[in-house]
Amino acid sequence: MALRSTIFKVALSVADIDRGYYGDHALTIARHPSETDERMMVRLLAFALHAGDNVEFGRGLSTEDEPDVWQRDLTGAIERWIDVGLPDERRMRKACGRAREVHVLAYGGRAVELWWNGVSDRLQRQDRLAVSEMPMDASRTLGQLADRSMRLQVTIQHGHVLVADGDTAIPVDLRILKSRPPG
């Protein structure tokens, strides 16, 4: 018998002062049986970092041709492709061919450095790609906030991110590994 996804309900408030975006989102997240709480919460943070109109979660780990989070325009064209973790280089190049912007939110401590050293030379030429690293202590602490029903506030100001649930506040200072050129 196949294992079923676990459903999480999230009331997410985003205050992105850097972009001038303020919004509340009622989200339902399906956590695949092979997905950890940490990865699911990093996906949720990726959503918050790019929150806006038409931003939604992809269908999940078992769907290779969809990102973890994406934004499509009204015609269905992909504006933003957002992956978390340490995606394959070919997947990122393919995403750059399909989307106007591609973002990777990498996490995993030392594994991020090893992954980036292995793919950075080939991915530096991808002008549509931006890669950020989330510190391991922040991703693990964020994973501990996972609950079947959550109320989270994410504040982004001057590049600093703060995730709070009423009892706990977790600062998340992302390190930029590759940025997109302006425009």
- Work out the angle at residue 142's Cα, subtended by the Cα atoms of residues 167 and 179, and round it to the nearest 5 degrees: 125
What is the band of 87 on the pLDDT scale with cuts at 50, 70, 90? very high
Residue whose token pair is 């002008």: 127
User: Cα separation of 86 and 108, whole Å?
Assistant: 8
The DSSP bridge pattern shows strands 78-84 and 69-72 to be antiparallel
- 133: region left, alpha or beta (phi > 0 left; psi from -120 to 50 alpha): beta
Instruction: For the chain, list the domains and their CATH numbers.
Output: 6-178 (3.10.640.10)
- Work out the angle at residue 116's Cα, subtended by the Cα atoms of residues 157 and 33, and round it to the nearest 5 degrees: 80
- Work out the angle at residue 26's Cα, subtended by the Cα atoms of residues 62 and 30, and round it to the nearest 5 degrees: 20
User: Cα separation of 10 and 41, whole Å?
Assistant: 11
Give all strands of the β-sheet with 160-164 in edge-to-edge order. Answer: 21-31, 6-16, 149-157, 160-164, 169-172
Q: Using one digit for the tens of pLDDT, what is the confidence trace for 136-170? A: 999 999 999 999 999 999 999 998 999 999 899 99
CA nearest to 132, candidates 90, 85, 165? 85
Q: Using one digit for the tens of pLDDT, what is the confidence trace for 12-51? A: 999 999 999 999 999 999 998 889 999 999 999 999 999 9
Q: Using one digit for the tens of pLDDT, what is the confidence trace for 74-83? A: 999 999 999 9
Whether pLDDT at 61 is above 80: no
Residues present in the chain in total: 183
What is the band of 86 on the pLDDT scale with cuts at 50, 70, 90? very high
